[in-house]
Amino acid sequence: MAVFQPDSFIVSDVVPSPNVDDRAEGRAPDMILLHYTGMQTGEAALQRLCTRESKVSAHYVVFESGRIVQCVPEAKRAWHAGVSHWAGETDINSRSIGIEIVNPGHEFGYQDFPLRQTAAVISLCKSIFTRRGPISADRVLGHSDVAPSRKQDPGEKFPWELLSESGVGHWVRAAPLNLDGVTIHPGDHGEAVTRLQRTLRNYGYGIADSGKYDDATRDVVTAFQRHFRPARIDGVADPSTLLTLRALIETRPAPLV
C-alpha cells in the first residue's frame, strides 16, 4: 500500500501495511478494539503487521514511549480481530479501528503499561471520537472480549479504569472479592447458568444460553474478569463477578442515535 496522509496530527509516522481492504458494505467504524502486540519488541511487531505474508494488520501501533505509528487508514479495514463476535456481529474488522499497544504480553513477560503509552492511547481514542463522531463507551473493547477463547489481550494489567476516567470506555469499580452469595462454577448447569449466559450476551459477549457452564462459558467469564474484575481471573462466576456484571448492565450508556 502506498504512503498515505495520517488521520490524526498526533501520529508520528506512517508505515503502510499491505494487509488491508474495504470495509464491508461501506460501514463506518463504530468500535475501537485494543490489543497488545505480544512480541518481544515493538519494531518486530510493526514489521509483522506490515508484512504481506503475516496477513495481519492494525490501524495504529502505540509504542511504550507514546510514539504512534499508523499502518492503515481509518476508512479501510485492517485485519486485526480475526474470528470474533460482539453484540451479534461477526465482521468486527469492518466495524472497528484496531490499536496495537506494544507490550510483550503473557508469552514474553507481561509488563505494566507505561503512563505515557496509556496517555497516547487515550489521546488517540479521543482523536478518533472527534473525527468519527461519538463511539459508545461499551464499544471500546479488548481483543479478549470479542475472541475470549483465543485471546488474552490487552490483559489484566491494562488500565481500563484510567481510560474510563478520561472519557474512553465503559467501566465500573469491581465489587469486592470474597462476598457471600451464590457462586456458579464450571461444570454447573441449570437456570442460574442460563441467566448468567443471557446477561453476558446482553452486554455483548458471544455466548449461547445452553444452561451448561461449559468451556466456552468459562472462557467468556475469564475474559470478562480480565477486563472488568482483574483482581482474580479464574473463570468462576462468584458474587463479585456477578455484581460487577450487573453494575455494568445498569450503567450501560444509552444507544447512540
Q: Determine which helix (DSSP H) or strand (DSSP E) holds 145, and give its type and residue range.
A: helix 143-146
211: Cβ contacts below 8 Å, ≥ 6 apart: 189, 190, 191, 193, 194, 197
Of 67, 170, 172, which Cα lies nearest the Cα of 119? 67
CB atoms under 10 Å from CB of 254, counted, come to 6
Q: Which of 53, 64, 74, 100 is catalytic?
A: 100
Of 78, 69, 56, which Cα lies nearest the Cα of 14? 69
d(CA 31, CA 142): 10
Our answer to whether residue 74 is catalytic in this structure is no
Q: In this structure, are strands 96-101 and 60-62 parallel, antiparallel, or unpaired?
A: parallel
Enzyme catalytic residues = 100
